Copies of this chain bind each other. A is one copy, B any other.
């Protein structure tokens, strides 16, 4: 694959996560990469194409992470912790996650991008739900809610607290993450 293409996707993701989908332009990318506006259109004819590719790349990255954890024989506690660490990294980088950046702008997205975003959230929530079910069966986790609801609460806590941490400095994000994990202990 093309290096430029990969750089465009990388920078596009960064811009979505810092400014939002409707606030970044092809100019933002081209000027940063030292190329011309039309070069972006060469790889991604429309902004919707780029948006879709960025979400697809993120889905792939998530799936690779899950595969990697399975091949390493991670248990449910370790898997959840690995996932949470991604969010702590985003917190340090002062960026919201892709899902948290795109979801509020859902109505303004292209249909194809919308479907990919749906797929991504579905995938994460189903994975988290299964982690919770299996972890509970193994006695690694304890909770009273439906696993689907608890999964939504955990994922939402990570996503929105990250959004808040950009706005207010008093958010103790690491402690929130710790509380999420502690709250599942038997």
Which residues of A (87-144) have their CB < 8 Å from a CB of B? 96, 99-101, 103-108, 114, 117-118, 121-122, 125, 144
The reply to whether A100 and B160 form a contact with Cβ atoms under 8 Å apart is: yes
The reply to whether A19 and B107 form a contact with Cβ atoms under 8 Å apart is: yes
A20 to B20, CA, bound (A): 9
Least distance between A162 CB and chain B CB atoms (Å): 9
A163 CB-CB contact with B under 8 Å: yes
The reply to whether A164 and B121 form a contact with Cβ atoms under 8 Å apart is: yes
The reply to whether A166 and B122 form a contact with Cβ atoms under 8 Å apart is: no
Least distance between A100 CB and chain B CB atoms (Å): 6
Copy total for this chain: 2
The reply to whether A171 and B152 form a contact with Cβ atoms under 8 Å apart is: yes
Least distance between A70 CB and chain B CB atoms (Å): 24
Which residues of A (144-174) have their CB < 8 Å from a CB of B? 144-146, 148-150, 152-153, 155-161, 163-164, 166-168, 170-172
Least distance between A12 CB and chain B CB atoms (Å): 15
The reply to whether B108 and A104 form a contact with Cβ atoms under 8 Å apart is: no
A106 to B96, CA, bound (A): 10
Q: List 5 contacting pairs A-B, 8 Å CB cutoff, sorted by A.
A: A103-B160, A107-B166, A145-B183, A149-B172, A153-B161
Residues in A lying within 8 Å of B, measured CB to CB: 18-20, 22-23, 96, 99-101, 103-108, 114, 117-118, 121-122, 125, 144-146, 148-150, 152-153, 155-161, 163-164, 166-168, 170-172, 175-176, 178-180, 182-183
